[in-house]
Amino acid sequence: MGKIKGCGEETCVAHKKKTVYKKSDTFCSKCGNPLVYMCKDCKTMLSGDTNKYCVRCLAKYKDKKDKAKKAGGGAIAIGGIVLAVGKKAIGFAAKMKG
């Protein structure tokens, strides 16, 4: 799903309910005002039609993405260490049996 449109008139019922309109719609069905592009997450009006998130929500998503990358790299490193130690333990147990 791409960018979303909503009513920019703060007194409108559609704005208060955060009603989302189709991309092809140009006017609010409740008040008749022109529709504007809104943030996909928090429904804040966007100044341009190039982004689907406002600056605040975009920063939040980028932070989450960066944290996930850091956590994923650490998990891979720990997994490699556990695998190496496990192989040594199996080899040691095999020597003890024999």
Residue with tokens 């260490």: 81
pLDDT at 51: 81
Mean pLDDT of the chain: 81
Cβ burial of 58 (10 Å; 0-12, 13-18, 19+) is middle
Amino acid identity of residue 63, one-letter, is D
Q: Are 10 and 42 in contact (CB under 8 A)?
A: no
pLDDT category, 36, cuts 50, 70, 90?
very high
pTM exceeds 0.95 for this model: no
Torsion, Cα of 59, 63, 68, 69 (10° steps):
90
Q: What residue segments make up the domains of the chain, in order of their start?
A: 1-53, 65-98
Confidence of residue 28 (pLDDT cuts 50, 70, 90): very high
Mean pLDDT over residues 19-43, rounded? Answer: 91
